[in-house]
Structure 1
Amino acid sequence: MVSSRIVDYHEDLVEEPEVELPQMVFADGEEPVGVRVLTYQSSRAINTILNALNEAEIQYLRESSFGKLIEIAEKPAFSGRFARYLLSRQLKVEKKHEAWFRFAGNPIRFSLREFAIVTGLPCGEIPKKQKMKKKNINEKPYWPELFGSMEEMRVSQAVKMLRKKTVTDPDIRMKLACLAIVSSVLLSTNLKMKMLKEYAELLGDIEEFLSFPWGRIAFDMLMTSIKKRDEISLSQDTIALKGFALALQLVIVEAVPALTEVVQDACSSSESESDDDEIESPVSKARRKTLNPAHAREVDRKSEVNIIFN
């Protein structure tokens, strides 16, 4: 974990402690009782990709900018019910790139800074040359180098190629794994989970691919999905979020470690899962642990709960 505060109070609150917190989107006690948050990223996606790799390949990822994602695979899975509860605890803030949540009587910020800390992903400015619109007329597209004449490729197919060692070239294997992580974990937007063709061109240089600001892109996608929700849409039983929604849970858990004192088996009937079961290998279907929503509510009611600010 980066040696930095994972949680910040609002600047105004630091300078003037007497200032009241911003209003909550829903008054205390009047939060809608929804079912869950759906995310297109399967909680097993990271493990499924790792299960298709050998130890040397996994170690390569551990030492790359995707290293924290390997650690995340061992943490509690995304809880759609907890995320649904959390979204109902939002504070009204106007900043486009920040969301604030009231938990255990304290404001907890979710911004690019916190996202970068819990994911370890590069979050710098997106290079202008990577607009992916203008290309050298003589430059050959890289997609055919990976998939030949196929115009599209499901993540499940690519993972199967890795697992069955249909692809043996070490360089190509790592490139497929990295693109699968981006496509099914960080930037997932639908249940089909296709390999993102527009980003395949970066794989000509895998080091360039790994240093690309995936964190900023993933954060912007998730934050846009959160911010577009008004009181009416937040009152729906089920809410869908695009992008790496697990990052929001990771930030809250880092701030409130007590949340992990009680966990339960993840269950697709109550927790968000992709319906793309094809991506799952037989060995990856073991149940993962996830947060217990009832315990989370109990922790939220305890104002004396330990919130980590330093």
Structure 2
Amino acid sequence: MEDNGEDNRLPPRLFATDRFPTQRLNIYSRPNILAFIRHVLRGTDTFKKIRESPFGKLFDLPTHQCAVSCKLIHALMTRQLICEVDHTFWTVFGSDPFKFGLEEFGDITGLNCGSLPEGYEAPDHNEKGANKQENAHTDPFWQRLIGKDNNITIADLADQLEHDEEMDDWRRIRLALIIIVDGVLVASTQVHRPTLRYVQMLEDLDSFLEFPWGRESFLHTVRSLKPPKFFKGKPVDDPVALLVSKLKQKTFRLTGFPLALQLLAFRAIPMLLSKWPAPSQVQTIMDVTERDLPAQNTLDTNDILLVEDNQQMVVSSITPVSRGQQPGWGVWPFEKTDEKVEYMEQLISINHNFTKTMWPGGDRSETLRVVPEEKGPAEEGIEEQVPVHKKHVVQIKRKRSNLQPRQPSTNPGSATKRRRTSRVSSASTSNTDTNKDVEDRLSVLEARVTNLEKANQSLKESRRRRRRGSRAPPNFPNFALNHRRRLHRGTVHNSEQANRDGDAEKLPIPQDPQRWPQISSSPISWTPNAAPPHPRTPTS
């Protein structure tokens, strides 16, 4: 042990003590699917058979603990220890370690964690070709159970399971099982889809139910918790550095069934439940009557830090488990050994008092975490103040308006204005007229309206005639002819004009009054020896 308190015989940390990132996790496993299966198959022989199988204990999980706390699982991942044991996850909470392995997973879920069939190898989702199933729809059993659609989703199958009343029991139980496996236990994508190899296994239902699904689900879970061996189909040179960088990102994907790690944390660290509101009556998924789990608040980062810093916190490094009866239950036949893990287990067996300073190593790029102050009883009911957010990146500057509010006038106003105001005031405060008075006034108003319409029509006719002006009445051609003859006979013309007198009298008279120029009604006058006006252009 070094002078600074670190014990290098212990497994090193992934992140240095109290220097943990706090980012988000994407967990694709959906425990509420179990409540859906319970709701849809309630009272059927199909659900009875599932309940009696190794999948049955999943429906005994407490509903108030099934809301996945991504912050808690992320905190346990960043506090993990780096060890050579492939199938065991060790983490440190506060100053004490605790173990998450296949035995703990099997005890929590009740699933079969026995040995895998000979020649079977669980796929690694990060390995190249692990998720490849483009030709799934060509498989004969896929076509029989699923159909000819290669891109069908678990949600599509769930919709068929709920609404297809003519579905037989042979297909009903198989769809329910593939929904549980691909939607809860080995979920690896945001949109769940049935896995071809699992669909093919459903051809023999009894063999499918006896398969060690606990071991299969745990492998998918622990591989995403620990430093990965593959990334995008290629081997990784430095798995630890890759996991450190991944956990610093905004999001990180977890596959499998990470809820089991959260449920184990509640067992190993009971004080976490003090920050996790529980209902007055604890119920399991079997007690749920709806098609979804009830809403539940989860832990945040401050809750985790407060529990971790509490002096009264107790951590059970190794939780007791009930072993299953299946052959090879919870055992890895060719598991690697790690001397540092064995040394740590020896200290646990003698109830050694661990401290934070004992744990060596870890990435130190994150800032040192400060434990928040815990709110007292009087502060718990005080709501947190909502911050005021800005609305614009660039504030909009408004011009000052020259308009000002009008000041009340002290001038009493003119006599006419005072009389008008007085009349309005008296009218508004006068008594209401009777119906008889209203009818009389209405009759008078109707008569006035009729008279006004007649006067308006007469005025329009008068204005129309005035606008015409030059338009002569129908007898205008005869008047013009006589007027022109008198004009020509009583006027002295010059020689050129006199020669055209006869022609002027023979000019044709247009019959259309509109073609005549304006002629004033005033008398025509001229002086002797003056040229008379042109017969075609009368002047006033």
TM-score range, shorter chain: 0.7 to 0.9
Question: Is the contact made by 1:262 and 1:295 (CA closer than 8 Å) also made in structure 2?
Answer: yes
Question: Is the contact made by 1:36 and 1:83 (CA closer than 8 Å) also made in structure 2?
Answer: no
- In the TM superposition, 1:146-157 aligns within 5 A as 146-157=145-156
State the TM-score, normalized to the length of structure 2. Answer: 0.46
Identity %: 30
Aligned counterpart, 2:73: 83
Secondary structure (helix, strand or coil) at the match of 1:28 reads coil
Matched, 1:234 2:247: yes
Question: Is the contact made by 1:76 and 1:289 (CA closer than 8 Å) also made in structure 2?
Answer: no
State the alpha-carbon separation in 1 of the partners of residues 311 and 144 from structure 2. 56
Change (3 A) 1:153 1:26: same
Secondary structure (helix, strand or coil) at the match of 2:252 reads strand
Secondary structure (helix, strand or coil) at the match of 1:179 reads helix
Change (3 A) 1:146 1:253: same
Q: Deviation digits for residues 10-40 of structure 1, max 9, x if unmatched?
A: xxxxxxxx996422211112112x2221111
Change (3 A) 1:124 1:166: same
- In the TM superposition, 1:216-235 aligns within 5 A as 216-227=215-226, 228=228, 230-235=243-248
Aligned counterpart, 1:5: none
State the alpha-carbon separation in 1 of the partners of residues 120 and 89 from structure 2. 28
Secondary structure (helix, strand or coil) at the match of 1:101 reads strand
Change (3 A) 1:25 1:49: same
Q: Which amino acid aligns with 1:37?
A: L
Aligned counterpart, 1:135: none
Where relative contact order (Cα < 8 A, 6+ residues apart) is larger, the structure is: 1
Question: Is the contact made by 1:263 and 1:290 (CA closer than 8 Å) also made in structure 2?
Answer: yes
Change (3 A) 1:78 1:115: same
Aligned counterpart, 2:11: 22
State the alpha-carbon separation in 1 of the partners of residues 178 and 23 from structure 2. 32
State the TM-score, normalized to the length of structure 1. Answer: 0.77
Greater displacement, 69-78 / 95-104 = 69-78
Aligned counterpart, 1:46: 34
Matched, 1:202 2:201: yes
Aligned counterpart, 1:159: 158
Aligned counterpart, 1:61: 50
Aligned counterpart, 2:308: 300
State the alpha-carbon separation in 2 of the partners of residues 175 and 289 from structure 1. 34
- In the TM superposition, 1:1-310 aligns within 5 A as 21-32=10-21, 34-56=22-44, 57-72=46-61, 74=63, 75-128=65-118, 141-227=140-226, 228=228, 230-263=243-276, 283-284=291-292, 286-308=294-316, 309-310=319-320
Secondary structure (helix, strand or coil) at the match of 1:91 reads coil
Q: Which amino acid aligns with 1:196?
A: T
CA RMSD of aligned residues (A): 2.7
Aligned counterpart, 2:380: none
* Pairwise CA distance, 1:263: 2.3
Change (3 A) 1:24 1:130: closer
Secondary structure (helix, strand or coil) at the match of 2:79 reads coil
Gaps of 5+ in 2: 1-6, 123-138, 229-241, 279-289, 321-540
* Pairwise CA distance, 1:73: 6.3
Gaps of 5+ in 1: 1-17, 133-139, 266-281
Question: Is the contact made by 2:33 and 2:183 (CA closer than 8 Å) also made in structure 1?
Answer: yes
* Pairwise CA distance, 1:244: 1.0
Q: Which amino acid aligns with 1:219?
A: F
Aligned counterpart, 2:397: none
